[in-house]
Copies of this chain bind each other. A is one copy, B any other.
Amino acid sequence: MSLTSRSDQHALFSQFALVADALAHCHRLSLLELLAQGERRVEVLAGFLGISIASTSQHLQKLKRAGLVVDRPVGRQRLYRLSGNQVASLVLALEKVAETSLASVEKLVGEQIRSRDVEPPIRAAELRALIEREPVVLLDVRPAEEYLAGHLPGALHLPWERLRHEPPTWPADSMIVVYCRGPYCFLALEALQALHRQGYRVRRLEDGVPEWRRLGFPVEEDARGVA
């Protein structure tokens, strides 16, 4: 009986290891970050990652075998999405542990992210309070599909690709909060720096829509505010 216990535990933990193994590749982590924003097709995901469609499909299937994503056929294409909200939380937990206990990550994050924030990023809860106190321009710089799949209430949509070429003209004293996919997405950082150079008062929201949702805050899914 104690013998079966040991092998049972072995079998169980091997399954857990399978899930961890699915997380153990930078492209698959990128895929999960993208899918946390909403459903996407294989071809589009391949485009974001800059690798072949076949390779992307194989990564997706590894994630699927680990139960982290599910797919459904729509027309002649196939849409992938996270199998649940806990998946996005798991990835965030992984990244948080890496950041606090791996010096190399701490260094990378410091160099690439913290040094580019003109002031410390704002967290979801703080933002909710800030909105009550003063008018804030909320800026979503993700691609259109992700904005449409859900964005912060009242957020304007100005994807980084457009913002980059057509600088906005708001009243100079506007308070702007810009956000993208999450704490490790670089889109908001680019926008932040561009707007800062133009003299705007601008801060970055550290969290993305998935985390905002997880906290139980309201999300808008229509297209109001598209620039």
Residues of A within 8 A of B (CB): 1-2, 5-6, 8-21, 23-30, 50, 66-68, 83-84, 86-87, 89-90, 93-98, 100-105, 108-109, 112, 184-186, 189-190
Contact = CB atoms under 8 A, between A and B. Distances in A.
Contacts of A16: 26, 29, 94-95, 98, 105
Q: Would you list the 8 A-B pairs with minimal beta carbon distance, nearest first?
A: A67-B101, A13-B26, A20-B23, A21-B24, A67-B102, A20-B24, A5-B186, A19-B98
15 contacts: A2-B190, A9-B186, A12-B105, A13-B26, A14-B26, A15-B104, A17-B25, A18-B102, A19-B94, A20-B94, A67-B101, A67-B102, A84-B100, A89-B93, A90-B93
Q: How many copies does the complex hold?
A: 2
Task: Give the dominant DSSP class at A's interface.
Answer: helix
B108 A12 contact: yes
Given A9-B185, A17-B28, A67-B97, 15 more contacts: A2-B190, A6-B50, A8-B186, A15-B104, A15-B105, A17-B26, A19-B94, A19-B98, A20-B24, A20-B29, A21-B21, A86-B96, A89-B93, A90-B93, A90-B94
